[in-house]
Every structure is written in structure tokens, then in C-alpha cells.
A and B are shown apart, each in its own frame.
Chain A
Amino acid sequence: GNSVTQMEGPVTLSEEAFLTINCTYTATGYPSLFWYVQYPGEGLQLLLKATKADDKGSNKGFEATYRKETTSFHLEKGSVQVSDSAVYFCALFYNQGGKLIFGQGTELSVKP
């Protein structure tokens, strides 16, 4: 079936460090891929998305490229800030229905 697997957290980095959060997926067809972020005490917010292979989604300095050959959608940021501390969720939207399928989430903690 369709599923999303993320690297386990928590991930702890110092400010200005490089961030990678791995995400791989299993899906039939050609899903769209998303990264959502959940800041402490807040609801889920869309961070970025990509709807087809080789698309790159980007927002707030974060990027992720839809790699069909490796079924991956890794999240990257060149220089993290303390304000990036949050839980990050990778998700896919598959073309046979209306639901998002989420990974388990990766907690990021950025220290000054």
C-alpha cells in the first residue's frame, strides 16, 4: 500500500547548520508530495510541495526535490535558525483518493 517513511528524530542542530530530513515513499501511480510543519502549540502548516517527478518545492529557505528514481523527497535547508524548531511531516497525496498519507514526523531542535 501507500506509505511514507521519515528519518527518526529528534534532530538537534546548532544555528546555521545544514539540515537534511530524509523522506521516502511507497505509492502506486504518481503521487504529489508535501512537507508540512507543526510549530510548538500551532496547527499543521504547508511548507512546500511538488506535484511531479524532478519538481523542486521551496519556501522559507527550505527545499525538497521529487526523486521518482529513488522514491524520495528529502527536506533540506542550508542554514537553520532557532525559529525553525518544529516537527516536520512528509506526506503524499495519491491519485486514487482525497487523503494525505503522513510520515511519523521528525522533531527538529535548533540551539543558539
Chain B
Amino acid sequence: GAGVSQTPSNKVTEKGKYVELRCDPISGHTALYWYRQSLGQGPEFLIYFQGTGAADDSGLPNDRFFAVRPEGSVSTLKIQRTERGDSAVYLCASSLTSRLQTGGQETQYFGPGTRLLVL
């Protein structure tokens, strides 16, 4: 079946602009995660959804970042007033459930990422 997809694959924007990044999880996966990966670093957690609600948004760096998942499937990460420091690859992942729900470990499947460049 189809994996996690993300659009666009690349996004170039100017400082101060607003951007939206989209994630389509694997069909049937209830948990969805956003991570950010800077050059030469490992991915860093941003936010995690269980269904439609954000179960943990502790990784969002500031209030310019916001994410939604209104129908429990597709998610959009929104960045307002972009800054050059926001340039990174934004990764989305999904899993069947989270550990909190099942008490067991669920594997996260990653999309190819959106490479954001803020000029």
C-alpha cells in the first residue's frame, strides 16, 4: 500500500511569509507525528496527534508554528512569519496507534519530507 506522503517536496519562501506543509499518513494510521531535521542532525520532535487532537505539542519551538488534523487523517503544519532559522527538512510519520493507547510499541513510518528554505 501507499506510504506516508508529503507535499510539497521542496518549498522556497521569503522571510516573513506564511507556509503550509501537508502530510498524508498511511491509511488507517491513527497516530501522526511531525519532526524537523536540520542539516547534519537527527530529527527533532515537534508535535504528535492521536486522531484529531494534538496529544503532545511540546516540541513546537514557538507560537509561529501550528498544526492541525481536522478529520484525523491528513495533517497540515503551518508556519507564520517564517525566519531563516526555520529552514530544515520537515518530516511526517504515522503509526497504527501510540504506545499510550496500546501499551505496546508501535513503529513509526516516515514520509520523504518537505525541504523548506527560507531566504
A36→B110 CA distance, assembly (Å)? 10
Number of interface residues of B (CB under 8 A): 29
User: Taking the complex as formed, is A44 at the interface, i.e. its CB lies under 8 A from any CB of chain B?
Assistant: yes
Contact of B99 among A46, A93, A101 (CB under 8 A): A93
B113 and A100 form a contact (CB under 8 A): no
Contact of B112 among A32, A43, A101, A104 (CB under 8 A): A43
User: Closest CB-CB distance, A58 to chain B, in whole Å?
Assistant: 15
A44→B6 CA distance, assembly (Å)? 13
**Could you say which residues of chain B place their CB within 8 Å of the CB of A4?**
42
| Residue picked from A42, A44, A105, most chain B C-beta under 10 Å | A44
**Could you say which residues of chain B place their CB within 8 Å of the CB of A42?**
112
Assuming the contacts A100-B43, A105-B41, asked whether A44 and B110 have C-beta atoms less than 8 A apart, the reply is yes
Contact of A98 among B42, B44, B48, B111 (CB under 8 A): B48
B40 and A105 form a contact (CB under 8 A): yes
List A72-101 residues whose CB lies under 8 Å from chain B.
89, 91, 93, 95, 97-101
A98 and B31 form a contact (CB under 8 A): yes
B91 and A105 form a contact (CB under 8 A): no
Q: Mark B75-118 against chain A: 1 for CB-CB distance below 8 A, else 0.
A: 00000000000000001010000111000110111111100000
A103 and B105 form a contact (CB under 8 A): no
**Could you say which residues of chain B place their CB within 8 Å of the CB of A91?**
42
**What residues make up the interface of A, taking CB atoms closer than 8 Å to B?**
4, 32, 34, 36, 42-46, 49, 51, 89, 91, 93, 95, 97-105
